């Protein structure tokens, strides 16, 4: 499936198949979209001034640059960005942790939005920023959030808790009220320098690859508890009722299970 966040979701793969799938994807130039991590998910954008008569800035180019900059950045929770090329807001940027909306003079920056259970519009942090100032401000906002939020706390509740709220955040990231701006900048620069595609790195690490087997004594053996049926011409996991009605999957010599059908992920 092509997701709303422009990722390609691939469903139904078994654990031991993942390295083979990723080998082909990495060789074809694909990168991990980090849908599994507490990290940047996606930067949604509209078509912007390149393709839309209402556009006042090139939202697509900015969105690509931001995604390349923040990809893989680990955080207390997932976070999303959006970039709209004018005030019509087709990218729904104000529903993101960091939302950017083009103006005639630059970019307006909004922070602390999200969808989900408790939808919240992002609040205006700064107006009419040039691109360089915008990126520096986002760098500091994200690093300040990463360093001070609780585990599993998204930007909206963090902003409700953080000292001074929106004004306090603005003072820290724009006026360096705590004297930590250089430290935040350096931390983001280090992230950008050290980024590597996690799947590419995993494929080159035999120790990590050993985790992608369901059984220690039969690494190529699929987990027999997995069962699939076909719907709309696609394979999907069988429901409990479908499994009960299906053929028995008994194995006489049960291999040793070292991991379930999913890998344990630390929150
Ligand atoms: S937000 Fe503005 S520039 Fe972007 S697609 Fe919508 S109308 Fe066009």
- Is 117 part of any domain? yes
CB of 128 closer than 8 Å to CB of 151: no
Q: Is the minimum distance from the CB of 210 to ligand 1 under 6 angstroms? A: no
Q: Ligand 1: which of 45, 49, 52, 83 to mutate, judged by most atoms within 8 Å of the beta carbon? A: 52
- Is 69 part of any domain? yes
- Is 112 part of any domain? yes
Q: Is the minimum distance from the CB of 55 to ligand 1 under 6 angstroms? A: yes
Distance 66 CA to ligand 1 centre (A): 18
- Is 152 part of any domain? yes
Q: Is the minimum distance from the CB of 86 to ligand 1 under 6 angstroms? A: yes
pLDDT computed for residue 254 by the predictor: 41
Distance 35 CA to ligand 1 centre (A): 26
pLDDT computed for residue 263 by the predictor: 53
- Is 33 part of any domain? no
Query: How many structural domains does the chain have?
Result: 1
Read off the CATH number of the domain in which 76 is found. Answer: 3.30.413.10
- Is 86 part of any domain? yes
The residue range of the domain holding 42 is 38-196
- Which among 96, 72, 73, 70 is positioned nearest to 84, based on CA atoms? 96
Q: How far apart are CA 22 and CA 201, in angstroms?
A: 11
pLDDT computed for residue 218 by the predictor: 85
ipTM: 0.99
pLDDT computed for residue 259 by the predictor: 45
Q: Is the minimum distance from the CB of 88 to ligand 1 under 6 angstroms? A: yes
- Is 87 part of any domain? yes
pLDDT computed for residue 148 by the predictor: 98
User: Inter-axis angle of helices 131-148 and 165-175, to 10 degrees?
Assistant: 120
Q: Which residues of the chain have pLDDT under 50?
A: 249-260
């Amino acid at each position: 499936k092509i997701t709303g966040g422009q990722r390609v979701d691939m469903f139904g793969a078994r654990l031991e198949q993942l390295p083979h799938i990723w080998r082909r994807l990495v060789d074809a130039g694909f990168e991990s979209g980090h849908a599994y991590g507490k990290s940047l998910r996606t930067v949604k954008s509209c078509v912007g001034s390149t393709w839309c008569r209402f556009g006042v800035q090139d939202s697509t180019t900015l969105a690509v640059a931001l995604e390349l900059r923040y990809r893989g950045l680990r955080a207390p929770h997932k976070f999303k960005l959006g970039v709209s090329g004018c005030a019509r807001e087709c990218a729904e940027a104000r529903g993101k942790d960091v939302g950017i909306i083009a103006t005639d003079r630059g970019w307006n920056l909004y922070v602390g939005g999200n969808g989900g259970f408790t939808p919240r519009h992002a609040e205006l942090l700064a107006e009419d920023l040039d691109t360089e100032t915008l990126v520096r401000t986002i760098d500091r906002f994200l690093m300040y959030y990463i360093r001070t939020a609780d585990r599993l706390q998204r930007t909206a509740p963090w902003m409700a808790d953080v000292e001074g709220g929106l004004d306090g955040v603005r003072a820290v990231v724009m006026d360096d009220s705590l004297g930590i701006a250089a430290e935040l900048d350096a931390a983001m620069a280090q992230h950008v320098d050290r980024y590597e595609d996690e799947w590419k790195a995993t494929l080159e690490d035999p120790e990590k690859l050993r985790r992608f087997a369901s059984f220690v004594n039969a690494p190529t053996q699929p987990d027999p508890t997995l069962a699939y049926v076909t719907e709309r011409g696609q394979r999907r996991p069988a429901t409990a009722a479908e499994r009960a009605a299906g053929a028995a999957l008994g194995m006489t010599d049960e291999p040793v299970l070292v991991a379930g059908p999913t890998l344990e992920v630390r929150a």
